[in-house]
Amino acid sequence: MSDLTKRICLLGGGFAGLYTALRLNELPWQNDSKTEIILVDQGDRFLFSPLLYELVTGEMQSWEIAPPFSELLANTSVQFRQQKVTGIDLNNREIKLENLESLNYDKLVISTGSKTSKETIKGGQKYGLTFRSLNDAYLLREKLRNLENSGQEKIRVAIIGGGYSGVEIACKLADRLGEKGRIRIIEKGAKILKQSPTFNQESAQKALEIRKIWLDFETEVTEITQDSISLLYKGEEDTIPVDLVIITVGNQISDLISDLPLTNNDKGQLKINDNLQVLDNRNIYAIGDVAEAKDETGKMLPPTAQTAIQQADYCAWNIWASLNKRPLLPFKYQPLGEMITLGKDNATLTGLGLEIEGIPGYLTRRLVYLYRLPTWEHKFKVALNWIINN
């Protein structure tokens, strides 16, 4: 890198990091502000996680929801490094990679997301499954296949958490397993989807009832073993047999980020200012699940793809502006609503004055997500595949 070249490093190629890199690539860089954009991710593919459930039911294929970075970045000036980041040296502006290489940066975007912590539940680490990554989906499919082929009469699945992920995976599993499925959601609180609009809560409630999904409210999981789950309800413990346990609660930020000498909250998320910069260093931006995001009124935003995608636009602009002596823009969040898949060919959505469920909800969700997929080439390939196969 010449002394004049500025290097932007983006750590993590999820919604936050990849979409920032793609946006940075579109901005008009002048020769005198020559810039290198480097995206680092431990995996070789981007994952459009809102569509991960569709892999369990076979409604979509991996290539549609998880295109390789090499393909997405092929016609851009963004360089991709498939490496795990093992350290960040803030004093020397240096990123340490697993292969012992290091990368210097002028501007840094921290967008490494979050993970599901299995350790908080006894036996969770050993016997609980998570549902966040492509490998999680593959492992779940393999376990389901084995159970389906075992000849056993019932397949009992316990899902911990009655939030979006818990409800969505429960409905997809119920549709896949049919009569054989015995599915229960275990929720610490008194209702499902507690942050959702009433319309979505009611549609979800109906979808769960139709699929005979059992709901355990105000119940805590005390232990998971190879073939059982122990539940605590109003002081009484009950142990029931299960074949699979899926943990959807317990978002955690990696130690790599929460141990940095940067201001963070009690969840380990980095605190950021209105321009999306970390509080302690104007050259470092933090976006997506890894950061504590707020709207203009100071209200906390949930860690969603919607927040990450919107932040990516501002983050790219602010980095460009800071290197081109232009004013930075404070982040303004636009609430676009919420969509929840409720089994095959069924979804609910509330937003922009609309409330839609059933097949129209399913079609709208599909189209919105098609539009949200990264790059026009990928959108086009997926759209063509849907047209040919439907």
Ligand X SMILES: Cc1cc2nc3c(=O)[nH]c(=O)nc-3n(C[C@H](O)[C@H](O)[C@H](O)COP(=O)(O)OP(=O)(O)OC[C@H]3O[C@@H](n4cnc5c(N)ncnc54)[C@H](O)[C@@H]3O)c2cc1C
Among residues 303, 343, 361, 374, the one that binds ligand X under rule CB under 6 A:
303
Residue 14: CB minimum distance to ligand X, A: 2
Among residues 35, 111, 200, 375, the one that binds ligand X under rule CB under 6 A:
111
Q: Distance of CA 11 to CAs 83, 98, 265, 325, Å?
A: 10, 13, 20, 24
Q: Which residue is nearest to ligand X (CB)?
A: 14
The stretches of 121-268 forming alpha helices (DSSP H) are 124-127, 134-149, 164-177, 198-210, 255-258
Residue 73: CB minimum distance to ligand X, A: 14
Q: Going residue by residue from 42 to 81, which x/- string records binding to ligand X, judged by CB under 6 A?
A: xx-----xx-x-----------------------------
Longest dimension (CA), the chain: 70
Contact in structure between 14 and 111 (CB atoms under 8 Å): yes
Selected range binding ligand X among 170-178, 183-191, 299-307, 377-385, rule: CB under 6 A: 299-307
| Positive or negative torsion for Cα 64, 193, 122, 219 | negative
Closest CA to 80 of 156, 132, 145, 25: 25
12 binds ligand X (CB under 6 A): yes
Judged by beta carbon, residue 49 or residue 364, the one nearer ligand X is: 49
Alpha-carbon gap, residue 53 to 172, rounded angstroms: 7
Q: Which residues pair with 104 in a beta bridge?
A: 94
What backbone phi and psi angles, to 5 degrees, belong to 308? -60, -45
Number of residues counted as binding ligand X (CB under 6 A): 31
Residue 12: CB minimum distance to ligand X, A: 3
Alpha-carbon gap, residue 306 to 289, rounded angstroms: 11
Among residues 264, 306, 318, 364, the one that binds ligand X under rule CB under 6 A:
306
Q: What is the DSSP string of 128-149?
A: -EE-SSHHHHHHHHHHHHHHHH
Residue 47: CB minimum distance to ligand X, A: 6
Alpha-carbon gap, residue 295 to 304, rounded angstroms: 13
216: left (phi over 0), alpha (psi -120 to 50) or beta: beta
Cβ neighbours for 251, distance < 8 A, ≥ 6 positions apart: 114, 115, 116, 117, 267, 289, 303
Residue 186: CB minimum distance to ligand X, A: 18
Among residues 10, 40, 88, 157, the one that binds ligand X under rule CB under 6 A:
40
Alpha-carbon gap, residue 137 to 130, rounded angstroms: 9
Residue 44: CB minimum distance to ligand X, A: 10
Contact in structure between 275 and 294 (CB atoms under 8 Å): no
Contacts to ligand X from residues 258-297, by CB under 6 A: 288-290
Selected range binding ligand X among 6-14, 63-71, 99-107, 180-188, rule: CB under 6 A: 6-14
Contacts to ligand X from residues 117-146, by CB under 6 A: 131-132
Judged by beta carbon, residue 18 or residue 186, the one nearer ligand X is: 18
Selected range binding ligand X among 41-49, 68-76, 141-149, 217-225, rule: CB under 6 A: 41-49
Residue 90: CB minimum distance to ligand X, A: 16
Residue 244: CB minimum distance to ligand X, A: 16
Residue 312: CB minimum distance to ligand X, A: 8
Contacts to ligand X from residues 356-375, by CB under 6 A: none
User: For 75, which DSSP code?
Assistant: T
Among residues 10, 13, 216, 362, the one that binds ligand X under rule CB under 6 A:
13
Please report, as ranges, the residues that interact with ligand X according to CB under 6 A.
12-17, 40-43, 49-50, 52, 84-85, 111-113, 131-132, 165, 254, 256, 288-290, 303-306, 308
